[in-house]
Amino acid sequence: MSESQHPDGLSHGERKRRAILRTALDLGSEQGLEGLSIGRLAEATGMSRSGLFAHFGSKEGLQLAAVAAAQADFEAHVMAPARDAQPGLDRLRALHRAWLDYVDGTAFRGGCFFFMTTSEYGSRPGAVRDRLAALALGWIRELLREAETAGRQGELRDDGDPKQIVFRLHAFAQEANWARELFDDDEAFGRARRAAGELLESIRRAPENEERQRS
């Protein structure tokens, strides 16, 4: 079978690169990106250093490639499933639920790749930190866009602050990941889901007839 006839449509070289990056993501989620090197990856994959160098060029090139692969995985498992939800509160709920499911599912061997690496690179300048910071900011803006859309559509109570809502939703996921990773708390993500559901219900504007009954 020729390369163009592979069922997944990928060439042998691209499938091999993806397999290498999958191992890199497992290592990065477990040990952080600073410990991810051409030599460490060569040991884990059984490839030669020269072969890996041909793929990535440098340690930083490898790290940036791992971040890009993690971004693609996140978009496929979190962003894409939520696109069918209606803009506003429904999509905000869908995005956050998909995010919790994704982190809870420990897609990579060491847990959430981004929680590990953004913490690791928070005060370390350079191209890797800049890329991680840009992705984290983009995710927060994605959540904020839906919260603000919910406000414009009249879905939020008058005291519903989109920035505060997103801050709390983000904190629920971070706390759940921290509790599970540090304390082996298997119930942490269940609590995070309940907390998110209670928050989103509490800031939802009641239908007009329900509001009249309360007044």
The whole-number average pLDDT for the span 113-127 is: 91
Q: What's the pLDDT score for residue 207? A: 78
The whole-number average pLDDT for the span 98-120 is: 88
pLDDT in tens, 6-42: 556 778 778 888 899 999 999 999 889 988 999 999 9
> Is residue 150 packed enough to be buried (19+ CB in 10 Å), middle (13-18) or exposed (0-12)?
buried
CATH of the domain at 138: 1.10.357.10
pLDDT grade for 188, boundaries at 50, 70 and 90 = very high
Lowest-pLDDT range of 118-122, 128-132, 166-170, 191-195 = 118-122
Q: What's the pLDDT score for residue 46? A: 92
Q: What's the pLDDT score for residue 6? A: 57
86 or 3: which leads in pLDDT: 86
Indicate the number of domains in the chain.
1
pLDDT in tens, 56-97: 999 999 999 999 999 999 999 999 999 999 999 999 999 999
CB 121 within 8 A of CB 129: yes
Rounded Cα distance between 207 and 96, Å, is 24
Domain containing 191 equals 3-214
Among 5-9, 115-119, 177-181, 191-195, the range of highest mean pLDDT = 191-195
